[in-house]
Structure 1
Amino acid sequence: MNLEELTARLHAIRDRNDWKRFHAPKNLAMAASVEMAELVEIFQWLTEDESRQLPADKLAHAGQEVGDIVLYLLLLCAELGLDMDQVVRAKLADSERRFANG
């Protein structure tokens, strides 16, 4: 996944639609949260086994919501000047250190 390319494509959509004025970090964080709630809603009231074996339509819907979340997080990183690859790798390395003997 080329994050720079994805971010550039997102910015092109944003710029074509004059959405930059809405892309303050707080708005992007809230939008990502809303999309996360939509993902959670897919799993609401399912058993653990049911959540692992979604029917094709619900699985596709879950994928759409995951995509929405990732795209909003890419936009948020761009607005904050964060390198998503770098922050994710740093967090993973931190988790590996913290939970190495788990």
Structure 2
Amino acid sequence: MSESMRRINQFRDERNWRQFHNEKDLAISISLEANELLELFQWKTPEEAKENPERLKEELADVLIYSYMMADNLGFDIDEIITEKLIKNTRKYPIPKSFGQKKKYNELDED
């Protein structure tokens, strides 16, 4: 278990909040916190949004905390699932076809 996961679980368990952290509610919380992060960029240029790094860090941390909690609930190893996804993305986005492109993988052969 990572140090971050241990600290998250300790914080949660000290407050007896495990009972509220089922997968459905964690998925909802991830979405809500991601939207709070997104709201910091609404009607602003990226540069303007980055003028308040503390708020950005707080909202990003909330997304990550809930994501870590969901992975822990499901018995997923964070490093392992990220590695697996990067392997899949490497296949979907080969460098020769995707380098410098913003197209989705299913649009890369259209040129």
TM-score normalised to the size of structure 2?
0.80
1:44-70 Cα offsets, whole Å, 9 max, x none, are: 112xxx2145353x2221111111101
Q: CA RMSD in A?
A: 1.4
* Structure 1 runs (4+) greater than 3 angstroms displaced: 52-56
1:18-97 aligned within 5 A: 18-46=16-44, 50-56=45-51, 58-97=52-91
Structure 1 gap segments, 5+ residues each? none
Whichever residue aligns with residue 51 of structure 1, its letter is: P
Alpha-carbon distance between aligned partners in 2 of 1:7 and 1:43, rounded to the nearest angstrom: 28
Whichever residue aligns with residue 81 of structure 1, its letter is: G
1:15-43 Cα offsets, whole Å, 9 max, x none, are: 10000100101111111111001001011
Which has the larger share of helix? 1
Aligned residues: 96
Contact preservation (8 Å) 2:40, 2:49: no
Contact preservation (8 Å) 2:50, 2:56: no
Structure 2 gap segments, 5+ residues each? 99-111
Alpha-carbon distance between aligned partners in 2 of 1:63 and 1:91, rounded to the nearest angstrom: 24
Determine which structure has greater relative contact order: mean sequence separation of CA pairs < 8 Å that are 6+ residues apart, divided by chain length: 1
Q: Share of identical aligned residues, percent? A: 29
